[in-house]
Copies of this chain bind each other. A is one copy, B any other.
Amino acid sequence: MQKYDHIPRATIQRLATYMQVLETMKKDNIKITSSEPLATACDVNASQVRKDLAYFGEFGVRGVGYYVDYLLDAIKDCLHANREWRTALIGVGNLGRALLNHQEFNRRGIRIVGAFDCDPFKIGEVAYGLEIFCSKRLQEKVPELGIELGIITTPPERAQRAADQLIEAGVKGILNFSSARIVTPNHVYIEYVDFFHQIYSLTFNISTKN
């Protein structure tokens, strides 16, 4: 158990946004910041930011603010975003290919080192430098390639099977882009990327607040 084990989910998500804002500042050569720009980016108030940052000690310097570099490193440490995570992608369709070619993954240490599909026409093909393997070979490839995370980009009806194969092969966390809900054992973490949540926030707000 580490010291950060009770950070709420909503805080984790804000930390990820703070990280993004701080990275932009670092690129722009800004050395010191305050809670306000971080608050604005997350649509919360400054006291919420201070509370979030208090989870891992006091980084603010009274009368000065936060040191961008120091805070950025602390957040990365906390989220374990400062190391490489070897990752498998299952489902090499349009979305899968777009993700295989998405530079942001590599830049952030998410290294997709294996691509899998169950379509015999795709198996053996090379997509963005990766040979596509049959999903049945996850069992062998996950330990061989040191894979810890899985990304599912299959059609919804194949998502549970893909998850089962990933879990059996030993991955610890799954990012699911398909629209299917997936059942996992307690020791395997699952996260959903479903941008219809965001779309419905838009359609709701546009329709009720204008």
Contacts and interface: CB of A to CB of B under 8 A. Distances in A.
A181 B2 contact: no
A78 B204 CA distance: 7
A198 B193 contact: yes
B203 A81 contact: yes
A21 interface: yes
Interface residues of A, number: 62
A197 interface: yes
A79 B104 CA distance: 32
Interface in A147-204: 148-149, 172-175, 177, 179-181, 187, 189, 191-204
Interface stretch (A11-19, A46-54, A62-70, A138-146): A11-19
A41 interface: yes
A85 B97 CA distance: 27
A2 B209 CA distance: 8
